[in-house]
Amino acid sequence: AIYSTKNIGHFGLSFEYYTHFTSPIRRYPDMLVHRILESHLDGHPLTNKEFGDLEKMCLVASEQEAKAVSAERDSIKYKLVEYMQDKVGQTFDALISGVTEWGLYVEDKESSAEGLVRVRSIGDDFYNYSQKEYALVGQRTQKKYTLGDSVRVRLVAADLSARQLDFELVP
C-alpha cells in the first residue's frame, strides 16, 4: 500500500473521494485516519502544519509497509523451500506462473511452492522467448509453454540458503 494525503479517488470503485481504513485498527495508517475523522467530526479540521506532518507520516508508513510485505514474502518463500527440501526427485502438478528468456516459473498446485524450470533443461528442442505471446516457443517443433499452462514437473534442487527451487519438466 502507498499512503498519501493526495486524494486520487478509487479507480475500481469509481469514487471521486476515497480513503481506506480498517476497523478495528490494524495498522498505524488506520489509526491516523480514525484520528482525522474524529477531529473533523468534532469540528477541528487539520491545520496546515498537521497536514504537512501527515504527509511525512504517510511516506514513512508506505516505506514500512513495503518492508513488511517484503519480509512476509521472504519468510513464506523460506518456509516453502524448507518444506520442499525432502521432496527432491518427486513429481508435481504445476502451473506456469511466469515466463522469461531464461525459463519458466512454475507453481506447485498443492503447496503453492514456486520455482524455476531453466530453459536449458528443456531438452526436446531449442526454445526462444516470445515476449509478445509471453511464451517459450520451440524452434523446430513450435511447441509453446505459456503463462497459465498446466505442466508436470520434477523437483531437482531445493536450496534453502538461496530460497530457491529448481524443477525440470516431466514428459
Q: What is the DSSP letter of 45?
A: P
Positive or negative, the CA dihedral 168, 130, 145, 100 is positive
Q: pLDDT tens digits for 7-30?
A: 888 888 999 888 877 777 778 888
Q: How far is Cα 22 from Cα 5, in angstroms, rounded to an integer?
A: 17
Q: pLDDT tens digits for 68-93?
A: 999 999 999 999 999 999 999 999 99
Q: How far is Cα 105 from Cα 124, in angstroms, rounded to an integer?
A: 18
144 CB burial (10 A radius; 0-12, 13-18, 19+)? middle
For residue 29, say if its preceding peptide bond is cis, omega within 30 degrees of 0: no
CA angle in degrees (0–180, nearest 5) for 91-95-96: 110
Confidence (pTM) = 0.73
Mean pLDDT of the chain: 93
Q: pLDDT tens digits for 96-144?
A: 999 999 999 999 999 999 999 999 999 889 999 999 999 999 999 999 9
